[in-house]
Amino acid sequence: MMSGTPIQNIPVAARVTPASIYVAPSLAAARDALSEYGAAGAPLAGGTWIMRSPIRHEPLKTHYVAIGRIAELSAIRISGNAVEIGAAVTHAALAAALADLPEFAGLVAAAGRSANPAIRAMATIGGNLSTSDFAAADCVPALLCLDADVEIADRNGRERISLAHFLEVRSKLAAGRIVTRIIVPRAECRTAHIRLPLRRSGDYPVAIVSLSVSVDAANRVRVARIAVGSVEPSARRWPPLEDALLGRPLDAAEAARIAAELTGEFIGRDSVDAPAWYRVSVLPGLVRRAVIAARGS
Amino acid sequence: MGFNLTVNGDRLSSAAEPATPLVDVLREEMHLTGAKPVCREGFCGACMVLVDGEPTPSCLLPAALADGREIQTVEGLAPLGQLNRIQAALEVSDAVQCGMCFPGMVVSLTHLLTTRPDATSDDIRAALTGNICRCTGYERIVEATLLALATA
Ligand SMILES: Cc1cc2nc3c(=O)[nH]c(=O)nc-3n(C[C@H](O)[C@@H](O)[C@H](O)COP(=O)(O)OP(=O)(O)OC[C@H]3O[C@@H](n4cnc5c(N)ncnc54)[C@H](O)[C@@H]3O)c2cc1C
Ligand code: FES
Ligand code: FES
């Protein structure tokens, strides 16, 4: 992020390792190219992570397959029981497409307020979920609490797995595999996504709380899914807090009080922008804000 | 392998490596030094150009993906030496200090003026989230933009 990253103007020759970029016209062509390249190749979606590899002192791959112009991967299909999001859909396109569906308020906030407008028009949802070294990815916790599935394809076919499982295996995905779609079931629920950046906007969030909740007629919690991002190396659900909220009235102060008792299960990550303890200590406040936002959604 | 692009109306070709950031092609091959590589991370906006009309940090666009696209840099926004609306308003409002961020500011705000004629000061601030200015505190930039919108 901006704070803590020295401004670098590395000479061009050192920056540009020769890499081929094949602009795939179709998914079949992308799958074929990726399987041919094997471990020497990878998809290039928005490029907002890959193009910063030199700053992170990481080598580029020898071959990239650009997937941003594949129509099938850029489509969003909204039906009565699910929303299917092509992996190359940008954050801006996703936020615009779901803006009128109240149950997706959390995902719209995640996609529509991360980074800055020009980045949101480039960075894709598939790239956001696939970047295993990026702890602060906004759409990961938002989609975790929507119980999303991820479809992965290679030359031989397609497979659908839960997002939680995908997060466990993503850094070890076999060469040639590509995320094609994210499938989000529709349900009657209220959702919210609260992020704490150091500046009001533009920075990576120090911590994120995403929430999806449904209540009964007496405002008691029937289902709660809560995910925490940016605190640990990968986002994950917070089951003890979810269980503790079940059957109780949906109340922000009470949820924050319970959250404060349960933060012990997170081991924060230390980095130049925020110490580990700080990331954990802000969680109850973010839970409070998430409940307030969900009640209003 | 080379690629072709249109820059400020001129059709040009480049033989740059495919992963070369567009900002380097613009500055080092085409000698258009308005776009500045400052953070090379997409945070500061000093390298902002319009790609097919959309504000895009040129530090993050690989040359291969600029192939066939229409690029407008800050140099192309004042044809014939005539300042455009936002440039004139920034000058009148005495908004510029060191000037480092301004090529990017002008690109983002030129886009805002054409796409959001009803923009409020909050909309202007939101549109500038990816344009960082270390000198001005932004207030005069926002005022100048409101002035440009009012003189449409
Ligand atoms: C200044 C700045 C600020 C940002 N702030 C935030 C923020 O606050 N929150 C946030 O969530 N994001 C933020 N981002 C975006 C961040 O770069 C990534 O989260 C981004 O979403 C990655 O998407 P991409 O399409 O650009 O991926 P790319 O850079 O194209 O790829 C990233 C990785 O994913 C792999 N990949 C891409 N697509 C697929 C696919 N379909 N299948 C398999 N693997 C794939 C690539 O091979 C690569 O390893 C920011 C980016 C910038 C530049
Ligand atoms: S140099 Fe491109 S955004 Fe800073
Ligand atoms: S005027 Fe100096 S950085 Fe903006």
For residue range A138-171, list pLDDT tens digits in order: 999 999 999 999 999 999 999 999 999 999 999 9
Residue range A171-181: average pLDDT?
A: 94
Q: For the domain made up of A5-66, give the CATH fold.
A: 3.30.43
Is the model's pLDDT at A5 over the cut of 80? no
H/E segment holding residue B5: strand B3-7
Q: Does domain A71-185 have CATH number 3.30.465.10?
A: yes
Residue range B53-72: average pLDDT?
A: 97
Interface with chain B: mutation pick from A12, A20, A22, A60, highest number of B CBs within 10 Å: A12
Residue range A11-32: average pLDDT?
A: 79
- Write down the mean pLDDT value for chain A: 93
| Pairwise CA distance, residues A235 & A125, whole Å | 15
| Pairwise CA distance, residues A198 & A273, whole Å | 8
- Please report the pLDDT score of residue A12 as a whole number: 46
Distance from CA of A54 to the nearest CA of B (A): 9
Report the share of chain A in percent with pLDDT over 70.
93
Is the model's pLDDT at A199 over the cut of 90? no
Is the model's pLDDT at A22 over the cut of 70? yes
| Pairwise CA distance, residues A48 & A134, whole Å | 12
pTM of the prediction?
A: 0.95
Is the model's pLDDT at A200 over the cut of 90? no
Q: Between A and B, how many residue pairs show a Cβ–Cβ distance under 8 A?
A: 100
Residue to mutate (ligand 3; options B100, B108, B141; most atoms within 8 A of CB): B100
Is the model's pLDDT at A71 over the cut of 70? yes
The 10s digit of each residue's pLDDT in A110-127 is 999 999 999 999 999 999
- Please report the pLDDT score of residue A150 as a whole number: 98
Strand ordering across the sheet containing B3-7: B10-14, B3-7, B70-72, B48-51, B54-57
For chain A, give the longest Cα–Cα distance.
Answer: 65
Q: Which residue has the tokens 């003026």?
A: B113
For residue A89, name the pLDDT band (cuts at 50, 70, 90).
very high
Is the model's pLDDT at A35 over the cut of 70? yes
B chain contacts of residue A64, beta-carbon cutoff 8 Å:
19
Compute how many other C-beta atoms are within 10 angstroms of the C-beta atom of residue A156.
Answer: 10
Q: Does domain B3-77 have CATH number 3.10.20.30?
A: yes
- Please report the pLDDT score of residue B1 as a whole number: 62
What atom of ligand 1 comes closest to residue A122's alpha carbon?
26
Is the model's pLDDT at A2 over the cut of 60? no
Compute how many other C-beta atoms are within 10 angstroms of the C-beta atom of residue A20.
Answer: 18
- Please report the pLDDT score of residue A17 as a whole number: 61
Report domain extents, chain B.
3-77, 80-150
For residue A280, name the pLDDT band (cuts at 50, 70, 90).
very high
Chain centroid to CA B117:
18
B126: which 2 tokens?
């939101």
Ligand 2 center to A170 CA (angstroms)? 29
Query: With contact defined as beta carbons under 8 Å apart, do A155 and A35 qualify?
Result: yes
The 10s digit of each residue's pLDDT in B64-109 is 999 999 999 999 998 788 999 999 999 999 999 999 999 999 999 9
Is the model's pLDDT at A4 over the cut of 70? no
For residue A223, name the pLDDT band (cuts at 50, 70, 90).
very high
Ligand 2 in reach of B59 Cβ (< 6 A): yes
CB contact under 8 A, A55 and B55: no
Ligand 2 in reach of B38 Cβ (< 6 A): yes
For residue A13, name the pLDDT band (cuts at 50, 70, 90).
very low
Ligand 3 center to B43 CA (angstroms)? 14
- Please report the pLDDT score of residue A11 as a whole number: 46
Q: In CATH, which of 3.40.50.2300, 1.10.150.120, 3.30.300.10, 3.30.70.580 is domain B80-150?
A: 1.10.150.120
3-state SS, residue B93:
coil
The 10s digit of each residue's pLDDT in A230-276 is 999 999 999 999 999 999 999 999 999 999 999 999 999 999 889 99
- Please report the pLDDT score of residue A201 as a whole number: 62
In angstroms, the Cα distances linking B85 to A42, A146, B91 are: 43, 45, 10
**Residues of chain A with a CB closer than 8 angstroms to some CB in chain B:** 1-2, 5, 7-9, 12, 15-21, 23, 44, 47-48, 51-52, 54-55, 60, 64, 66, 68, 115-119, 121-122, 201-202
CB contact under 8 A, B19 and A17: yes
Is the model's pLDDT at A10 over the cut of 70? no
Q: Does domain A190-296 have CATH number 2.70.98.10?
A: no
Nearest to A16 among B19, B37, B57 (CB): B19
Report the share of chain B in percent with pLDDT over 70.
99
Residue range A184-204: average pLDDT?
A: 89
H/E segment holding residue A35: helix A27-37
Report domain extents, chain A.
5-66, 71-185, 190-296
Q: Angle at CA B9, nearest 5°, toward B6 and B15?
A: 30
- Please report the pLDDT score of residue B122 as a whole number: 96
Interface with chain B: mutation pick from A5, A9, A16, A60, highest number of B CBs within 10 Å: A16
- Please report the pLDDT score of residue A1 as a whole number: 38
